[in-house]
């Protein structure tokens, strides 16, 4: 698990591993059973090996803990997915010290949001996915956010390419281009460059004609760091 609760605040394993004294301290207090799971509030300990990166794990049986199951699945995700998640977390946390940014937050039913951001009392969810996302799962998650009246932005992990035609991209990209403000955010899984794609839904007419002209290229893009 990526985070635990200590003194009623979030403690992240990635922050612990960067500071030897902090790691030493966290390992010590973990044995006192005062580090708690962010989901079931049962005691956890800090772990870090040469194969598996820093994380928290339940001291006792955790088969019934949903966060433990979610974290186990995430441990198998790509290095790029983990890096992009960390990049986004650090970015939003650094913009304003008053922003509350949480990794692995439970803000909708039966789902863990990759990142949640609270700015001036308004909560935003950020989901990081790829082409493996199914249509049914996507619709289900989007409906949960809609019912909770929580805005969610999606970042698709893929290779950046020159996308010109909406009809030529795979389903999850088409879904965002056609439904979510006609906007798609993609981050390159190799160099972590971000790009925003926008679908042009306007109809264009020839001068003095009522016949609409359909351009073959209906998407434009903006790349940024």
* Percent of the chain residues past pLDDT 90, beyond the cut: 44
**CB distance 61 to 81 below 8 Å:** no
pLDDT digits (tens, 9 = 90+) for 75-131: 888 889 999 999 999 998 888 777 889 999 999 988 999 999 998 888 899 999 988
Structure-block tokens of residue 127: 């989901």
Provide the pLDDT confidence category of residue 145 given band limits of 50, 70 and 90: very high
* Percent of the chain residues past pLDDT 70, beyond the cut: 92
- Per-residue confidence (pLDDT) for residue 205, from 0 to 100: 65
Residue owning tokens 């082409």: 131
What is the model's pTM? 0.81
pLDDT digits (tens, 9 = 90+) for 166-180: 777 888 888 888 887
CA 156, 93, 83, 116 dihedral sign is negative
Instruction: Find residue 12's DSSP bridge partners.
Output: 3
How far is residue 148's CA from residue 160's CA, in Å, rounded to a whole number?
A: 32
CA 3, 4, 10, 13 dihedral sign is negative
**CB distance 218 to 184 below 8 Å:** no
Residue owning tokens 């902090």: 22
Q: Specify the 3-state DSSP secondary structure of 41.
A: coil
- Per-residue confidence (pLDDT) for residue 165, from 0 to 100: 74
């Amino acid at each position: 698990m990526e985070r635990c609760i200590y003194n009623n605040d979030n403690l992240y394993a990635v922050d612990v591993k960067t500071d030897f004294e902090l790691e030493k301290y966290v390992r010590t207090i973990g044995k006192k059973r005062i580090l708690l799971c962010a989901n079931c509030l049962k005691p956890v300990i800090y772990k870090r090996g040469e194969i598996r990166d820093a994380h928290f794990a339940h001291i006792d049986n955790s088969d019934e803990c949903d966060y433990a199951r979610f974290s186990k699945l995430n441990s198998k995700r790509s290095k790029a997915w983990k890096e992009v998640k960390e990049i986004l977390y650090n970015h939003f946390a650094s913009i304003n010290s008053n922003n509350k940014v949480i990794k692995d937050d439970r803000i909708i039913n039966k789902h863990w949001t990759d990142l949640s951001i609270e700015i001036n009392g308004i909560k935003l969810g950020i989901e990081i996915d790829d082409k493996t996302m199914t249509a049914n799962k996507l619709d289900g998650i989007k409906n949960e956010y809609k019912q909770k009246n929580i805005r969610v932005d999606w970042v698709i992990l893929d290779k950046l390419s020159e996308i010109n035609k909406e009809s030529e991209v795979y389903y999850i990209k088409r879904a965002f281009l056609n439904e979510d403000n006609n906007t798609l955010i993609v981050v390159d899984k190799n160099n972590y460059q971000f790009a925003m794609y926008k679908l042009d839904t306007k109809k264009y007419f020839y001068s003095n004609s009522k016949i609409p002209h359909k351009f073959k290229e209906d998407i434009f893009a903006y790349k940024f760091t």
